[in-house]
Amino acid sequence: MKVHPAAWVALVVLFAAVIGLQMLQAEQQPLGLPAGVSANLLYVRSPEFLRRAALSFDALAGDIYWIRTVQHYGQTKLSKDPNKQYDLLFPLLDLTTSLDPYFDVAYKFGSVFLTEAFPLGASRPDQAIALLQKGLRARPDKWELAQELGFVYYWWLMDYESAADWFTRASEMTNAPNWLRPLAAVTLAQGGNRASSRTLWTEIARDADADWLRDQAKLRLTQLDAMDGIDLIERVVEQYRARTGSLPTSWAEMIRAGFLHSVPADPSGKPFRLDASTGKVTLDPTSPLNPLPDPDHRL
């Protein structure tokens, strides 16, 4: 039976209208939620209660909370609200891992994004530690959890004794890789150092099964490269001062004097900044590698 061509035209028009209106809606300001109402996302606060309430569907409920975790992170990250917080990240992860203690990726996600500095994360290493320790109680022989704990102490809290302790414990667990023991030793001996950091992040990058984790690790490694670069350039600046008796005022001067071939840039391509009064080299403020891990602890 032939359908009137006008019907097909109308169908296409309506489809376009639907998509158009949807786009219009997407641009609209989302409806406001009053403060504290985001807690509705949890619906429930107590993991114990939830586990019982979920009956035999713990793992599924765990999945749902995992989805909510990712959603919460994503929305908060994208939000332009100046008062945004990642306040639900830990509770959601806590619930997820209570429902499903074997949910490895949740622990990893927590250890990365709970510790990450605001605005990319919650800036709460303490919460990450709590999460990971809870994980270890459920799975005492999972070396990755111990290693991540060590990492939090190492990178964020700069507590090298605790870090070395956790790396040692991790190295003694089943299937632990053999780079953990020497790492523990070096950490104990030298505290924070760039080589150890590089090792850690390289292992994380190699091992990562999630894109976001691999991207994190790559970013860190690039930052370490940038810091190596800064150290190198600062040495050249020092050489310039030793030769000419004063600090250079710009890259152009150093190039003319033959100390550099071209304007030095960080691995992302942005040129470094020279502070003419102190001789210190820093990243360009628009560089995507900002902020660098604290340079003062000589990583």
Partner 1 sequence: MRVIAHVAVNVFKESVRDKILYNLVVFAVLLISTSYLIGELTAGQDVKIIKDLGLASISMFGLLIAVFIGIGLVWKEVEKRSIYTLLSKPIRRQEFLLGKYCGLVLTLIINVAVMTVAFYAVLAYMEVTSPVNIRASWPAPATDLAMLKAVALIMLELMLVTAIALFFSTFSSPFLSAMLTIAVWVIGHFNEDLRNYGATISSPVAASIARGVYYVVPNFAAFDVKLQVVHAQAVPLRYVAVTSVYGITYVAFVLLGAAIIFSKRDFK
118 contributes a contact to partner 1 by CB under 8 A: no
User: For partner 1, which is the closer residue by CB, 15 or 57?
Assistant: 15
DSSP structure string for 101-158 = TT-HHHHHHHHHHTTSPTTTS---HHHHHHHHHHHHHH-TT-HHHHHHHHHIIIIII-
Select from 55, 211, 245, 286 the one that contacts partner 1 (CB under 8 A).
211
- Among 120, 179, 119, which residue's Cα sits nearest to residue 151? 179
23 contributes a contact to partner 1 by CB under 8 A: yes
Residue 146's region, left for phi above 0, alpha for psi from -120 to 50, else beta, is alpha
Select from 5, 34, 245, 269 the one that contacts partner 1 (CB under 8 A).
34
Window of 16-24, 119-127, 255-263, 268-276 that interacts with partner 1 by CB under 8 A: 16-24
Q: Binding pattern to partner 1, positions 36-75, x when CB under 8 A?
A: -x--x--------------------------x--xx-xxx
26 contributes a contact to partner 1 by CB under 8 A: yes
- Among 202, 163, 203, which residue's Cα sits nearest to residue 184? 163
212 contributes a contact to partner 1 by CB under 8 A: yes
139 with 174: CB under 8 angstroms? no
- What backbone phi and psi angles, to 5 degrees, belong to 274? -105, 125
Task: List residues near partner 1 by CB under 8 A.
Answer: 1, 3, 7-8, 10-11, 14-15, 17-19, 21-26, 28, 31-34, 37, 40, 67, 70-71, 73-75, 77-78, 211-212, 215
